[in-house]
Amino acid sequence: MNGKTPPMLTRKQHELLVYIDRHLKQTGCSPSFEEMKDALQLKSKSGIHRLISALEERGFLDRRHHRARALEVRRLPEDMANRTTEGEHFSPTVIRGDFTARIPGVRTAKDAAAISLPLYGRIAAGLPIEALRDAGSQIEVPLAMLGNGEHYALEVAGDSMVEAGILDGDQVIIRKGDTAESGQIVVALVDDNEVTLKRLRRRGNSIALEPCNVRHETRIFPADRVKVQGRMVALMRRY
């Protein structure tokens, strides 16, 4: 620290930095100014602008000015720098393709502990499309990445979840179920005919389907128009 005393934060600056850090770790996206205003119970967004500017000046926060809603936590106060909360960080479990298993006579340790899951076609991570089941397609998935319950796989089409580490062509592993907590990435059925992969947010009697790409907009529906069909637990990617 070159003998210098680290800059002190006000209570509101500290609260905002903690909120931004947790939001980034949980969602992979920067919170909106509206979300930050609500989280800190401020009356206007101008107060958030002032707090962010102060955090920038003190070296705790960076703004990527060429991207909307893009914030980066450079460092945390010493009282929380070493603090972690179980389950608060979302980082997709990426299983990279192991092509040695295709060589006749060659088996890997993964082969002995893998299971075949049905691959139900392509799901939009951009504009919603119907995810069609293809009973003839299967995908090999290591058992270690699955928990209890029934699972299936979907291939991602589109780029609206890239800031959560989910890319076009990835195969996401979904645990079947009709419930999900706010903030989880889910397969959502809208109006019984559109299926999309988005982060779910509950807002009173409404449900927001939130992308993780600043070029895509959040869609908000009455709760009775959205049915959860499963939540994402991992993804697989081939190179």
Known catalytic residues? Answer: 160, 198
CA–CA separation, 169 vs 158, rounded Å?
A: 8
Element (H, E) at 122: strand 114-124
Q: Cβ of 233: how many Cβ atoms within 10 Å?
A: 18
Give Cβ neighbours of residue 38 (< 8 Å, ≥ 6 apart).
Answer: none
CA–CA separation, 201 vs 184, rounded Å?
A: 8
47 DSSP assignment: H
CA–CA separation, 187 vs 195, rounded Å?
A: 7
Residue in 207, 198, 139, 205 with CA at minimum distance from that of residue 166: 198
Give Cβ neighbours of residue 77 (< 8 Å, ≥ 6 apart).
Answer: 6, 9, 14, 17, 60
CA–CA separation, 119 vs 139, rounded Å?
A: 6
Rounded (5°) CA angle 132-215-50: 140
